[in-house]
Amino acid sequence: MGRWLRVERIQGNVFPGFNKDHQVFLGLRFAKAESARAWLTETLPELTSAAKVVAFRALRAALEGQPALAALRATWVNVSFSREGLALFTPTPTGTFPQPFEQGMATRAGVLGDTPATWRFGETRDTEAHVLVVIGADTDADLQQALSVHRQRLARHEARDVLLETLGVDCRGAKLPDEMRGREHFGYQDGISEPRLDGLTGTGDFVLGYPDAAGQESSSGPAWTRDGSYLVFRRLRQDVAGFQRDLEAQAKDLGLKSPAQLGAKVFGRWPSGAKLADPIQPVAGMYVTVLMPQRSAARVARSAREAGFEVPLLRDYCRTADLTGIILGFGGCTDDELDRALAAVRRGLG
């Protein structure tokens, strides 16, 4: 991965992504260009490249299962600039960049179907950030230490954090804990559809200066934008309970008895991350759910038993007009045994 990428020049949150347990976002606005440039000069040595993130992930993988893994930590920093923010550092004529970036989100709100009056920030020039700073850390203590350093720097260079001003608290982000770890707020497996960036065809659709899907080198503005990318930063309110209520209501309207099946169609995947086309999806431990015709349940269990596995049909987890979701238990199986058991289940489905 990344063999043909200029990883020393790409920011690590562009590729392969920070993926830290704790993050904070600073939306900086400067009163003077001189202050902005002095701030950037101080901050540049701390920026985290893709090379550093890739190396850290490789080391983490090598230490998996060893005591030293617990002590492996890193704090990373990346920055992004708005159109107005870029002008503080390197003035360029209007029309240099693509129109959406030139105009900004508030100007294009009508195109997006947005209502800026409901935004917490960015709806006016005074609340639009010049620079977005992303800080990621493995522990809350490490994040607080880095945040303290950056807050002191902002004060020295008379920068405002418009996110802090409008929200009243730091704009924080964190991975969900416990059984929700690795999932987004609606309960679906997250981080499974990241594009593969290897410097070859298609990479240029995400990072400038590489072949896009048509094989043409992507470009946007001056040559110095090469190895850069575009970032959209939005703060959304998610109504998980409302989503679940809507699923239940819509499933009934559509004649379905399973909100879970409708939810999978909305998200494009089952909560486990399994594709819609795959009837088998893993649950916790040695359990899987299988979506099958109701008449097939006994045949599936028999096929698994004939392969040497005791497969209890624990309970239905959903029903539609012609399909049933059954939870199957494979107690005490090794990974290899589970693979063979699932192969037997698939034979039973066939």
How much is the pLDDT for 262?
83
The DSSP symbol for 47 reads B
317 pLDDT higher than 50: no
How much is the pLDDT for 268?
80
Q: Check if the beta carbon of residue 218 is closer than 8 Å to that of residue 208.
A: yes
Give the mean pLDDT of 217-226: 93
Q: Supply 42's token pair.
A: 């101080």
Give the mean pLDDT of 233-262: 85
Q: Round the average pLDDT of the chain to a whole number and report it.
A: 83
Q: Check if the beta carbon of residue 338 is closer than 8 Å to that of residue 282.
A: no
323 pLDDT higher than 80: no
CA-to-CA dists, residue 85 to 79, 91, 130, 214, angstroms: 11, 10, 4, 32
For the stretch 159-199, pLDDT in tens is 999 999 999 999 999 998 888 888 888 888 887 777 888 89
- The more confidently predicted of residues 76 and 196 is 76
Q: What is the C-alpha separation between 319 and 312, in angstroms, rounded?
A: 18
227 pLDDT higher than 50: yes
How much is the pLDDT for 79?
98
pTM of structure: 0.77
How much is the pLDDT for 293?
58
The CA-CA-CA angle for residues 129, 54, 57, to 5°, reads 105
Give the mean pLDDT of 195-215: 92
How much is the pLDDT for 278?
53
Give the mean pLDDT of 231-237: 89
315 pLDDT higher than 70: no
Give the mean pLDDT of 252-271: 78
- CATH of range 268-349; options 3.40.640.10, 3.40.50.300, 3.40.50.620, 3.30.70.120: 3.30.70.120
How much is the pLDDT for 285?
46
* One-letter identity of residue 30: F
Domain edges within the chain: 22-225, 268-349
How much is the pLDDT for 205?
94
* Residue 208 phi, psi (nearest 5): -70, 145
Q: At what angle do helices 33-43 and 140-156 cross, to 10 degrees?
A: 140
Least confident of 94-103, 129-138, 204-213, 309-318: 309-318
Q: What is the C-alpha separation between 161 and 132, in angstroms, rounded?
A: 9
Least confident of 167-171, 185-189, 225-229, 295-299: 295-299
